Structure 1
Amino acid sequence: MACHRLSNRPADYSTPPAVVMSSTTPPGSDSDGAETPAESSGPGALDPLTALLREVEGTSNGASTESNDAMETPTSDLPPPPSEANGKRRKKVRKPKPRWLKITAVVIAVLLVLPLISFTKAMITTQNLSFAERGAEWMRDNHLGGVLNTVESWWLSNNQPKEGGDPNRAIDVPVTGDGGPTTTVKVIAPHLPAPTNVQVPEGVTPVANEGVWQPVGPLVGGAQTMYTTQVRPDSVHTSILDGLVWIDPKLVTLEVFPGSEEPGGKWAKPSQVPMDRRLALIAAFNGGFRMDDAKGGFYLDGVTQRPLRDGAASFVTYSDGTATVGQWGRDVVMSPEVAAVRQNLDLIIDNGGGPPNPGGGPAAAAAPGALVPGLVDNVDGKWGATFGNKVYAWRSAVGVTATGAIVYGYGDGLSSLSLANLMLRAGCVRAMQLDINTVWTTFNFYNSTRFLDPTSVQGTKLLPESFKGANRYLSPDARDFVGVFTRAL
């Protein structure tokens, strides 16, 4: 047999036989040893060992392929899940949201809605305020005053008034209600001596009428009720003219009116000059800071809206219509004769106390006024923190002279220091800062255009460039103010 012959052949590995076993011949058959000339003579002929290795490799690969094929069986060949086998798709069950999450959402919604309602209410309440002013007031009422102060301080610091130059307008001589100083009338009423002219800042060449007091407003008992002038604030901001008004409390009455928003509370007195008082109205000017920033109190007609602070700068009116400025607890104290007290910060000019006497009484021996120590550096924030006392801006003040006259001053290009110097130059021995910023500072004169017709009363601005209208205080106003009326003799 072929197998027998192969087993007796000598081993020769130099020339391997080109014989392969037929994979189709069963072992032990008669053809078991048959030789198959499978490419035995070609260069690609396979020796038995190579053929055997390839056969083993093919068997291994085949097993691996079968294994991979089993792993890669398509999912479509797998039995469907029970839900799909029944022809129905199982719905996902959503878990309920936690209770705390619902409560949190409600709280957030309320926190967003309440400010929106408050803001909307503030926007539709005019009270002689522009949209921007209403927004600013709402911010201060809702604990955002610090943000607003920062923005205002930044804006003002980057938009300071021009330095140098000359005024771009003349100082007009005002027209009085009774024909002015050219009318010869016999003087019969007691009155204060006319003020002396205001000194112009050092090194500044005065323009026409600068620092010269001009009569304004009606005569009462043949005497002049008010005088006014305009001057440069200092020797640096020479293109600006600030305004001053001198008022004789012997010939007029001064009266504090509450605003609809400041100082807060409910009042029998209106937040405007009522129609039945307008024929006697000759002037009005702004009050102080918002009460939250004033560092003082407010008292009117027997009602204390904010507690009065000892040591605070105070504008005080009396039941007889006179008024004064002083330090509460030292120069002025509570008494049955006090009609109103409006406090704002600390004094900016002080004479140490004493005369002029409360109520505008004679005080020829009054000590001269001087700048209050610490004013330059705003020690302890005594003179405001809205945008700092060194920023040049619109500011206002009221003071009292040695004779008891009331002086109001305001305008642009003023720091707390230059405002105090302005009031010193006007003859004040004590003075206090009132409100600041162009939208809050106002002094208007009033006069009727038709005889005995209160509806014809119209206002005139002391400074034409001031922001608020000339008829301010003839309609409800958000801030408290002071009205000046002719005195009935």
Structure 2
Amino acid sequence: ADRLNQAIYRHAPPKTFWEPAPAAAAEAVRDEGLEAESISSPSPFEPPFREVAATGDGVWTPIPDAVRPGDAPVLWRSAVHPDPRRVFAAIAVVAIDLGRVDLRLVAGTKEPFSPDVPAERRPGLVPEGHAGELIAAFNGGFKAMHGHYGMMLDGDTFLPPRDRACTIALYRGGAVRIRTWPELRADEARMAAYRQTPPCLVEQGELHHALYDSNRDWGATVSGETVIRRSALGVDATGKLLFYGLGEAVTARTLAQGMKAAGAHDVAELDVNHAYPRFLLYGRGEGGEGPRARSALIPDVQFKPE
């Protein structure tokens, strides 16, 4: 499929997920990113490969908050084309202000599978006390059978941590760190939750040494295809900005390159393949009830509003 796509799209324009912001608005966002430090606006970034870049790559535009439309933005989106051989490879990236947004982990009703955590401890729902504050939700990591990567939430250990795994650690004070487990082990008592994934795509600004296109350690289709839909989570070097990336037709390496270009210093891969990665934006339903999923970050993502 990848070879066919390369032939079909050889002379096509770069893939886009949305209409780029008007030039004047884009320039205003660039200026805001440089001057409005009070809202931690992300800095614009240089597209890694100009020959496949689309208009608007590297420019952050605010994502409107349907819950608090009058507030300063806490989410921004941009796009990056991380593969000079594939104009159809693109990553939609969301930057999240961790100074004003809390990242919380919710266990699925079945995954990751664990015989040690009873069903009543994993309802698969956003806790009622936080539902009114929900602005977005995104997918987690692999199923338990695909790597047996560790997870802990509120003292419940679903699966024990693995030393080789990349670990997204959520601290009780709100901080988020992403590192290989031995780098975080000493902090475990201060963590509210952690979720492990395959080895870090990027750690301390360096791409993993085994990120070659045919390596299936970071997931593939049943047929072995590695140029697929993938997702990732990263943090910048300051720990103040969180980055979620959803990539189409990317390898683990090009996903890593795109996330690093956008500003991520440490990056963990989340779920992969077409049906699983998704980033949904939430708002109030009719009559003020909520929350309700109102839109997806990119097209061709199915979801239910409930």
- For the aligned pair, the TM-score class normalised by the smaller chain equals 0.7 to 0.9
In the alignment, does 2:179 pair up with 1:326?
yes
Match of 1:290 in 2: 143
**Contact 2:214/2:226, CA 8 A, preserved across alignment:** no
Question: How many residues in Structure 1 have an aligned counterpart in Structure 2?
Answer: 285
Structure 1 residues 92-111: Cα deviation after superposition (integer angstroms, max 9, x where no partner): xxxxxxxxxxxxxxxxxxxx
Equivalent position to 2:298, from 463, 466, 470: 463
Q: When the two structures are superposed, what TM-score results if normalisation uses the length of structure 2? A: 0.80
Provide the C-alpha distance between the structure 1 equivalents of 2:16 and 2:95, rounded to a whole number of angstroms. Answer: 22
Larger Rg: 1
1:414 Cα deviation from its structure 2 partner? 0.2
Provide the C-alpha distance between the structure 1 equivalents of 2:291 and 2:266, rounded to a whole number of angstroms. Answer: 37
Q: Identity over the aligned pairs, expressed in percent?
A: 28
- In structure 2, runs of 5+ residues without a counterpart are 22-27, 30-36
Amino acid at match of 1:432: A
Equivalent position to 1:245, from 91, 94, 99: 94
Match of 2:34 in 1: none
Equivalent position to 2:54, from 197, 207, 219: 207
**Contact 2:139/2:276, CA 8 A, preserved across alignment:** yes
1:270 Cα deviation from its structure 2 partner? 2.4
Pairs within 5 Å for 1:298-317: 298-317=151-170
**Contact 1:245/1:407, CA 8 A, preserved across alignment:** yes
1:271 Cα deviation from its structure 2 partner? 0.7
Secondary structure in structure 2 of the residue aligned to 1:335: helix
Match of 2:25 in 1: none
Change (3 A) 1:436 1:334: same
Structure 1 residues 68-87: Cα deviation after superposition (integer angstroms, max 9, x where no partner): xxxxxxxxxxxxxxxxxxxx
**Contact 1:295/1:345, CA 8 A, preserved across alignment:** no
Equivalent position to 2:81, from 229, 232, 235: 232
Q: When the two structures are superposed, what TM-score results if normalisation uses the length of structure 1? A: 0.52
Secondary structure in structure 1 of the residue aligned to 2:260: helix
Provide the C-alpha distance between the structure 2 equivalents of 1:401 and 1:469, rounded to a whole number of angstroms. Answer: 29
Coordinate RMSD, CA, aligned: 3.2
Amino acid at match of 1:251: R
More helix by share: 1
Match of 1:416 in 2: 252
Structure 1 residues 419-464: Cα deviation after superposition (integer angstroms, max 9, x where no partner): 110111111111111110010010111122557x233633211001
Change (3 A) 1:192 1:314: farther
1:387 Cα deviation from its structure 2 partner? 5.3
Match of 1:166 in 2: 13
**Contact 1:446/1:460, CA 8 A, preserved across alignment:** yes
Change (3 A) 1:173 1:459: farther
Match of 1:257 in 2: 106
Equivalent position to 2:230, from 395, 410, 414: 395
**Contact 1:313/1:432, CA 8 A, preserved across alignment:** yes
Change (3 A) 1:233 1:262: same
More strand by share: 2
Pairs within 5 Å for 1:321-470: 321-331=174-184, 333-351=186-204, 369-376=205-212, 382-384=217-219, 391-404=226-239, 405-450=241-286, 453-455=288-290, 457-466=292-301, 468-469=302-303
**Contact 1:449/1:456, CA 8 A, preserved across alignment:** yes
Amino acid at match of 1:258: A
Change (3 A) 1:277 1:427: same
Amino acid at match of 1:462: L
Match of 1:122 in 2: none
**Contact 1:390/1:417, CA 8 A, preserved across alignment:** no
Secondary structure in structure 1 of the residue aligned to 2:98: coil
Change (3 A) 1:239 1:344: closer
Secondary structure in structure 2 of the residue aligned to 1:308: coil
Secondary structure in structure 2 of the residue aligned to 1:242: strand
**Contact 1:262/1:291, CA 8 A, preserved across alignment:** yes
1:236 Cα deviation from its structure 2 partner? 2.5
